[in-house]
Amino acid sequence: MKGPDNGAAPDQFLSEMRDELERSGDERTRATNQRFFREPVNCFGVKTPVVRAMAARYFRALGHPEKELVFHLCEELFRSDSCEEAFIASDWAYRIRHEYVPEDMQTFGRWIERYVNNWAKCDTLCNHAVGALVEQYPTLVDTLLEWAGSGNRWLRRAAAVTLILPARKGLFLSEVFGIADRLLHDQEDLVQKGYGWMLKEASRKHQEEVFGYVMRHRIDMPRTALRYAIEKMPRELKDRAMDRR
């Protein structure tokens, strides 16, 4: 296997990987994957551990690629609309996180807006690559607040799920609440689940503050978001939060 840095053209490199994905897929896995989504999805039917191993192996074949090449390949993978290729693109984007610059936020936002069309693509990219970028450059959290007001539901979900891992560490608490405020009455249940998940992760380090937020908004907060937000809390707090009298 030759990567673009050691003789193969980028198109040839991606074609070889796609051929392997095609050979590795099966109808049963394809049908199983479809059950996780409401909308039809484009996938080869390759099991996640196999895709993960392929992502690592093909990235090694790239040698020591420039970030521009990696981002070019990632965009081509996203463009295909395949779930497996989107997974690989997100994996590769995260592998070069030590080379990120603030301007990469524009690239990630463009990928979400143009190519993300289901929750798995959104979460795989945002939980790791976009989240790592925001942790490195905390002022970029302002962009997440902008995304929370977008007409694109995937950008709105991205605003929340980007902070899943940072919130789990106790970071960005005020921004977590700011994003939740903007998404509080969102009509899309996948967005509701996204910001509820973000609040749940924030509650691991800031249970009292998140519980206080939930109690202030429990009448207006959609039940879907509320249930996600309190999932890790003690039964007593859950019962109080769910009492909407």
Helix (H) or strand (E) holding 242: helix 235-242
Check: CB of residue 51 under 8 Å from CB of residue 88: yes
Taking 60 as the threshold, does the pLDDT of residue 113 lie above it?
yes
All structural domains of the chain with their residue ranges: 1-99, 102-245
* Rounded Cα–Cα distance for residues 73 and 79 (Å): 10
Amino acid in position 240? R
125 pLDDT band, cuts 50/70/90, is very high
5 pLDDT band, cuts 50/70/90, is low
Tokens of 151: 């007409």
Model confidence pLDDT, tens digit, residues 61-86: 998 899 999 999 999 999 999 999 99
Closest CA to 176 of 216, 150, 154, 203: 203
CA distances for 20 relative to 29, 58, 78, angstroms: 16, 11, 17
Provide the pLDDT for residue 36: 85
Taking 70 as the threshold, does the pLDDT of residue 2 lie above it?
no
As beta bridge partners, residue 42 has: 82
* Rounded Cα–Cα distance for residues 101 and 136 (Å): 9
- DSSP string over 74-88: HHHHHHT-BHHHHHH
Provide the pLDDT for residue 4: 64
DSSP 198: H
Closest CA to 204 of 164, 161, 158: 164
Q: Can you tell me which residue has the tokens 């030759």?
A: 2
Provide the pLDDT for residue 8: 59
Check: CB of residue 181 under 8 Å from CB of residue 199: no
DSSP 33: H
32 pLDDT band, cuts 50/70/90, is confident
Domain 102-245 classification at class level? mainly alpha
Closest CA to 209 of 191, 185, 233: 233
Provide the pLDDT for residue 205: 97
Provide the pLDDT for residue 6: 56
Q: What percent of the chain has pLDDT over 70?
A: 96
Closest CA to 89 of 117, 115, 64, 61: 115
Helix 104-115 and helix 153-161, axial crossing angle in degrees, nearest 10 = 130
35 pLDDT band, cuts 50/70/90, is confident
11 pLDDT band, cuts 50/70/90, is confident
The pTM score is 0.93
Model confidence pLDDT, tens digit, residues 126-142: 999 999 999 999 999 99
Least confident of 3-12, 107-116, 144-153, 192-201: 3-12
Category of 243 on φ-ψ map: left (φ > 0), alpha (ψ -120 to 50) or beta: beta
* Rounded Cα–Cα distance for residues 153 and 10 (Å): 32
